[in-house]
Amino acid sequence: MNAQKLGICLMPRWIFAFIMPCLLLSLGVSTQAQAAERELVILTTFSREPLLPLVEEFSRRYQGIEVQIIHRRAQSSVQLLNKSYIQNIDLVLSSSPYLMQNLAQSGKLAALPEPMQTPEWLKPYALPMTEHVATIGYSGAGLVWNQDYLKTHQLPEPKQFSDLAKPVYFGHVTMSTPARSGTTQMMVESILAKYGWQKGWEILLRVGANLATASARSFGVSDYIANGQFAVGPTIDSYALILGRKLDYVQFVYDESFTLMPTYVAQIRQNHNDQYAKAFIELLMSSAVQTNMEGNDFAKHSVQDQSLVNERFTRLPMGSIIRREECLNDLFDLAITKQLPQLKDTLLAVLEAKAQFARRPSVLAKIEQIERTVFTMPISEQEVDALAIQIAPNSALSEEQQAESAMLLAEKGHEWQMRLEKQLEQANQELKILLAEEAQ
């Protein structure tokens, strides 16, 4: 049968070959767009499990909407959202002021209605720039410990973070690092704000020397302790309280040396109207969720609950700690994480020497001077802040300028590492010489 009689318009093969892929591509794009409209993608620095009750409630209300959770650390999240992947993300949920401020300042967030913004009483602990960020709850921080472990090893119950600097806890402590945990970064900055740079670092270095291990995850601290691997560690309340409900030997105490940590949610600014992103934020702010927030696995204090708040909790200068986050994280890793075996060995040698010469005041005084050197931070706060200003992230910077900033941080980090290693080696050498002299 003649094709023309069937009303089919024949076309040259080259035209058909050109048009057909275009038609298929447009159909694919349309299908993808429709799929995206039925999907909610949440980028978060929290572990997945505590969010499941919230996701389940959302799915119950909005059936047929697929919710995806992507877990990243704060700096990894910034890197991800600086790329084209940002088109695939709808919401960001985090306690990291660094992450939220970075997104807000770079214009990546949609504005939120005023009722969703931070309540006045929580603002001293929250981001200074909040019109693009909703505060849905907050956490306190403190110490979690295993009561059975303490009894077995005859260890005292700790009251505050600085207690973990005592020699009695040597080898019994665990904590995460600020580079791997935004909440740990806030705890470290809290200690520096409360005690000052030098005294704060002395406490951090002494606690570091007492570490059995540095946890790769902030929520791993509570897990390690609940499993009986270690005695005690710093954590936000939510992880400890969840375990404490199930295990009566897991104990927790708030430490007012630490700051309060708001939990933020923000909507990524997109070209289309993301109704489900708005709906999820509204769910988080609803009375149904707020009144039960502390009781479910999310375990945050509601923004309607001021019971934990008092002026004794440490307040942080948000602007400066956000600016210097990357520098401080590197310094912590150089001073503690990467030197952990040497730091522990040095402390053990010092403790043994002090026990050996406990009845020799003149020798003991020299050992204590060496000990002070070990736990002195040789890099000043002014150096760290000056570098932070030089390498401050800026979305307007070209790739070449960003590479230069990364190179500057690497060069300065190498210099800091040399100074830290030299100081520790010098202290060890002085101790060996002193012990050799006294042995004669």
Q: Express each pLDDT in 302-357 by its tens digit.
A: 999 999 999 899 999 998 999 999 999 999 999 999 999 999 999 999 999 999 99
What number is the average pLDDT over the span 105-129? Answer: 84
* Angle separating helix axes 325-332 and 399-439, nearest 10 degrees: 30
The DSSP bridge pattern shows strands 173-176 and 211-215 to be parallel
Q: Express each pLDDT in 308-319 by its tens digit.
A: 999 899 999 998
With beta carbons less than 8 A apart as the criterion, state whether 268 and 92 touch: yes
Domain total in the chain: 2
List phi, psi (to 5°) of 136.
-100, -10
Residue 272 pLDDT grade (very low, low, confident, very high; cuts 50, 70, 90): confident
pLDDT value of position 24: 44
Determine the structural domain holding residue 96 and report its residue range. 35-139+262-302
Q: Does one domain contain both 108 and 197?
A: no
Q: Does one domain contain both 130 and 160?
A: no
Q: Does one domain contain both 225 and 93?
A: no
Tell me, yes or no, whether 241 lies in a domain: yes
CA separation for the pair 226, 250 (Å, rounded)? 6
- State CA 269 to chain mean position distance: 24
Q: Does one domain contain both 193 and 335?
A: yes
**DSSP SS3 for 196:** coil
Q: Which amino acid is at 342?
A: Q
CA distances from 176 to 80, 184, 208, 240, 310 (A): 23, 6, 10, 14, 26
Q: Does one domain contain both 94 and 111?
A: yes
Q: Is the pLDDT of residue 174 over 90?
A: yes
pLDDT value of position 29: 41
pLDDT value of position 254: 96
CATH number, domain at 292?
3.40.190.10
Tell me, yes or no, whether 19 lies in a domain: no
Q: Does one domain contain both 390 and 423?
A: yes
Q: Express each pLDDT in 358-402 by its tens digit.
A: 999 999 999 999 999 999 999 999 999 999 999 886 655 667 877
Percent of the chain with pLDDT over 70: 88
Domain boundary among 302, 325, 355: 302
List phi, psi (to 5°) of 30.
-65, -40
Residue 25 pLDDT grade (very low, low, confident, very high; cuts 50, 70, 90): very low
Q: Does one domain contain both 229 and 100?
A: no
Q: Does one domain contain both 234 and 349?
A: yes
With beta carbons less than 8 A apart as the criterion, state whether 55 and 69 touch: yes
Q: Does one domain contain both 214 and 252?
A: yes
Q: Does one domain contain both 287 and 249?
A: no
Q: Express each pLDDT in 121-142 by its tens digit.
A: 999 999 876 688 999 999 999 9
Q: Does one domain contain both 244 and 277?
A: no
Q: Does one domain contain both 241 and 390?
A: yes
pLDDT value of position 431: 97
Residue for token pair 């409360």? 194
